[in-house]
Structure 1
Amino acid sequence: MHGFTSISKGDLEEGTLYPGLSYGENALRWGFIRKVYGILCAQLLLTTIVSSITVLYAPINDLLRANSGILFLFAIMPLILLWPLHVYHQKHPVNFILLGLFTTCLSVTVGVACANTEGKIVLEALILTSAVVAGLTGYTFWAAKKGKDFSYLGPFLFTSLIILIVAGFMQMFFPFGPTSNAVFGGLGAMVFAGYLIYDTDELIKRHTYDEYIWASVALYLDILNLFLEILRVLKGMQSDG
Structure 2
Amino acid sequence: MTSKIESPPPYEVALQHPKSSFPSQSQHGSSLPPPPSYSPNPDMCRSPPGYWDQDGVYPQTGMWAAPGFSPSGIPATIPTLSAGVPASNQGDMDDFLSTQWESTSIRHAFIRKVYLILTAQLAVTFAVVSVFTFVDPVRQFVIQYPGIYWASFVVYFLVYCILICCKEPRRRFPWNCVLLAIFTLALSYMAGTISSYYETKAVLLAMGITAIVCIAVTVFCFQTKVDFTSCGGFLCIAAVLLMITGTVTVVVLSFQYVPWLHMLYAAIGAVVYTLFLVYNTQLLIGNRELAISPEEYIYGALSLYIDIVHIFLFILQVSGASNE
- Same fold flag (TM > 0.5): yes
Structure 2 residue 230 is matched with structure 1 residue 152 = yes
- Residue 237 of structure 1 corresponds to which residue in structure 2? 322
- Residue 119 of structure 1 corresponds to which residue in structure 2? 200
- Residue 185 of structure 2 corresponds to which residue in structure 1? 104
Structure 2 residue 303 is matched with structure 1 residue 225 = no
2: CA distance, partners of 1:57 / 1:93: 34
2: CA distance, partners of 1:40 / 1:173: 35
Return the offset for 1:48: 1.7
Return the offset for 1:84: 2.2
Structure 2 residue 260 is matched with structure 1 residue 179 = yes
Return the offset for 1:152: 2.5
| 8 Å CA contact 2:249, 2:261 repeated in 1 | no
Structure richer in helix, relative to its length = 1
| 8 Å CA contact 1:74, 1:108 repeated in 2 | yes
Deviates more, 1:229-238 or 1:49-58: 49-58
Render the CA deviation track for 1:172-209: whole Å, top value 9, x for unaligned: 33205111111111111111111111000100111111
Structure number with greater Rg is 2
Return the offset for 1:58: 4.3
2: CA distance, partners of 1:238 / 1:66: 23
The TM-score, its normalising length taken from structure 2, stands at 0.63
| 8 Å CA contact 2:167, 2:296 repeated in 1 | no
2: CA distance, partners of 1:89 / 1:171: 39
2: CA distance, partners of 1:130 / 1:74: 25
Return the offset for 1:43: 0.4
Return the offset for 1:89: 4.8
1: CA distance, partners of 2:154 / 2:243: 14
Kindly provide the amino acid, as one letter, of the partner of residue 184 in structure 1: Y
1:32 paired residue among 96, 107, 110 = 110
The TM-score, its normalising length taken from structure 1, stands at 0.83
Q: How many residues align?
A: 216
Render the CA deviation track for 1:145-179: whole Å, top value 9, x for unaligned: x4x31112222122212222233233333205111
2: CA distance, partners of 1:68 / 1:173: 20
Within a 5 Å distance, the mapping from 1:1-241 to structure 2 comes to 22-86=100-164, 87=166, 89-90=168-169, 91-143=172-224, 146=225, 148-175=226-253, 176-205=257-286, 206-239=291-324
RMSD over aligned Cα, in angstroms? 1.8
SS of the residue 1:174 aligns to? helix
Kindly provide the amino acid, as one letter, of the partner of residue 188 in structure 2: S
1: CA distance, partners of 2:173 / 2:281: 24
Deviates more, 1:157-166 or 1:22-31: 157-166
Return the offset for 1:88: 5.8
SS of the residue 1:93 aligns to? helix
| 8 Å CA contact 2:133, 2:200 repeated in 1 | no
| 8 Å CA contact 2:246, 2:265 repeated in 1 | no
1: CA distance, partners of 2:178 / 2:137: 26
Task: Percent identity, please.
Answer: 31
2: CA distance, partners of 1:101 / 1:235: 28
| Structure 2 unmatched ranges of 5 or more | 1-98
2: CA distance, partners of 1:30 / 1:185: 35
| 8 Å CA contact 1:200, 1:219 repeated in 2 | yes
- Residue 28 of structure 2 corresponds to which residue in structure 1? none
2: CA distance, partners of 1:161 / 1:196: 13
Deviating runs (4+, > 6 A) in structure 1?
none
| Structure 1 unmatched ranges of 5 or more | 1-20
Deviates more, 1:159-168 or 1:209-218: 159-168
| 8 Å CA contact 1:179, 1:237 repeated in 2 | no
